[in-house]
Amino acid sequence: MINLKNIKQASEVLRPIIHNTPLVFSYALSEITGSNSYLKLENLQRTGSFKIRGSYNKLHRIRNNTKKVLAASAGNHAQGVALAAKLLGLNATVVMPEGTPINKIVAVKKYGAEVILHGDNFDESLKYAQLIEKKSKATLISAFNDIDVICGQGTIGLEIANSLSEVDYVLVPVGGGGLISGVSVALKEINPKIKIIGVEAKNVPSMSVSLKNKEILEPKTTKTIADGIAVIRVGDITFDIVQKYVDDVITVSEKEIEEALMILASKKRMIVEGAGAVGLSGLLKRKKRFKNKNTAVVISGGNIDINVLTKIIDRGLQKDGRIVKLEIELPDVPGALGELSTLFGELRANIVEIYHDRLSTDLPLDRAYVQVTLETRSFEHQEEVLGVLKKKNYKPQIIGKKF
């Protein structure tokens, strides 16, 4: 079992390599949650996540005993190992799931590592990496189930304690358990009264199911936007630490993760990945529990695929009444589309995108079809637009769910 001394030693190793990332107070989140909300911004860390901490600490420890290292990762651990290997003059190979976002693959290659795509998820990639390890002289670096890796991640706990001595709760994303293991050991040994709350995706509840049954189990899982913590089997080392030091592990739904991502983007102007936002999801879900408490949330990473981020923002705008998509039939006569566009302008509804179809066989010969996306101020503004359109006999239909 690791202790505070081990983590402080890791901190000395990492001091010249990593950023001591900010712990920032958020007035907006404090108002929303009722707690004194702080964010530990590991999305601003080198490689865009906390993983460089554990990876570098491990590789630094074994640098004189190996020249080749191997890892399996859904993205962030891969980048951490790749950069650490580059800094220490080692060769790195990383096995990643075939569906890994292209931005993470490109980043790993940029750091000089070889990338092998194999499997549908982290666990399948790990099994393939273990096969490679048996046939090569490379040293496999665990993403979470390793003492040196855990100690590296635990340096986040030291930084939180140094920045906020009166912290009451710390919420930490949970996948395999490496991050929360290190953070919990550091903070609990500094102050046993600090409550450590793990948060994991409801679609991959590996740690909470294992804790409930008091043994490591592999629950049935489904796809999650929090791909960075989509680990089917937690580590035996991390499981023991979590049982001893962590006060609770809660799960959050995909919608709750999306909500947290949208809040971070709109309120804090932060780009955060799904796994990085689950801690905030937990705070939002159980905010009564944290009322008036000093609460620190670890934002563990920011490596989100831009296409996913765009989709989340669009959904968030629809939910807030800022975007609406309509289907409208028009007379197929010259000037009809222009009249409709002018009407939108008069109503102060900005056209984001428009599609005009005169040739569809589903339409009468004298009719045309328009699909338009409008930027609006609110749901009330949308109702105003719809009301005017109906009065002018346009018969608009809203596309998709109206929140």
Q: DSSP string of 131-186?
A: HHHHHSSPEE--SSS-HHHHHHHHHHHHHHHHH-TT--EEEEE-SSSHHHHHHHHH
Q: Of 235, 397, 400, 257, whose CA–CA distance to 329 is shortest?
A: 397
Residue found under tokens 């900005």 = 350
Amino acid at 72: A
Residue with tokens 């107070």: 25
Angstrom distance (rounded) from CA 181 to CA 174: 9
Q: Any idea which residue has 């409801």 for tokens? A: 202
- Phi, psi dihedrals of residue 4, rounded to the nearest 5°: -60, -35
Q: Which helix (H) or strand (E) holds 171?
A: strand 169-173
Q: Which residues pair with 68 in a beta bridge?
A: 91
Strand, coil or helix: what is 199?
Answer: strand
DSSP 332: S
Q: Is the dihedral of CA 320, 204, 123, 180 positive or negative?
A: positive
127 with 97: CB under 8 angstroms? no
Crossing angle between the packed helical segments 254-267 and 306-319, to the nearest 10 degrees: 90
Where does 233-289 show beta strands of DSSP type E? 248-252
Query: Nearest-CA neighbor of 48 among 373, 276, 243, 209?
Result: 276
Secondary structure of 340-373 in the HEC alphabet?
HHHHHHHCCCEEEEEEEECCCCCCCCCEEEEEEE
Query: Domain 4-49+147-315 adopts which CATH fold?
Result: Rossmann fold (3.40.50)
Q: Collapsing DSSP states into helix, strand and coil, what is residue 128?
A: helix
Contact assessment for residue 77 and residue 100, using Cβ atoms and an 8 Å cutoff: no
Amino acid at 112: G
Can 51-140 and 321-398 be said to share one CATH topology? Answer: no
Say which DSSP state 132 is in.
H
Where is 381: in which H helix or E strand?
helix 379-391
pTM of the model: 0.87
Query: Which of 45, 47, 21 is CA-nearest to residue 112?
Result: 47
In contact, 244 and 211? CB cutoff 8 Å: no
Q: Burial, 53: exposed, middle or buried (Cβ in 10 Å; 0-12, 13-18, 19+)?
A: buried
pLDDT in tens, the chain (403 residues): 899 999 999 999 999 999 999 999 999 999 999 999 999 999 999 999 999 999 999 999 999 999 999 999 978 999 999 999 999 999 999 999 998 878 789 989 999 999 999 998 888 999 999 999 998 889 999 999 999 999 999 999 999 999 999 999 999 999 999 999 999 999 999 999 999 999 999 999 999 999 999 999 999 999 999 999 999 999 999 999 999 999 999 999 999 999 999 999 988 989 999 999 999 999 999 999 999 999 999 999 999 888 888 888 888 888 889 999 999 989 999 999 999 999 999 999 999 999 998 888 777 888 888 999 999 999 999 999 999 999 998 989 998 765 4
Q: Name the nearest CA neighbour of 398 among 316, 311, 323, 314.
A: 323
Order of strands across the sheet with 91-96?
Answer: 114-117, 91-96, 68-72, 139-140
Residue 401: per-residue pLDDT: 60
Question: What class is the 321-398 domain?
Answer: alpha beta
Contact between residue 197 and residue 285 where contact means Cβ atoms under 8 Å apart: no
Rounded distance, CA 345 to CA 283, Å?
Answer: 41
Which 8-state DSSP code applies to residue 221?
-
> Do 369 and 357 touch, CB atoms closer than 8 A?
yes
170 in Cβ contact with 202 (< 8 Å): no
Backbone angles phi, psi at 214, to 5 degrees: 60, 25
Contact 219, 268 (CB under 8 A): no
CB 230, CB 201: distance < 8 Å: yes
Helix segments in 34-121, DSSP class H:
51-62, 76-88, 102-110
Q: What is the CATH class of 51-140?
A: alpha beta
Confidence (pLDDT) at 402 = 54
Residue-range domain boundaries for the chain = 4-49+147-315, 51-140, 321-398
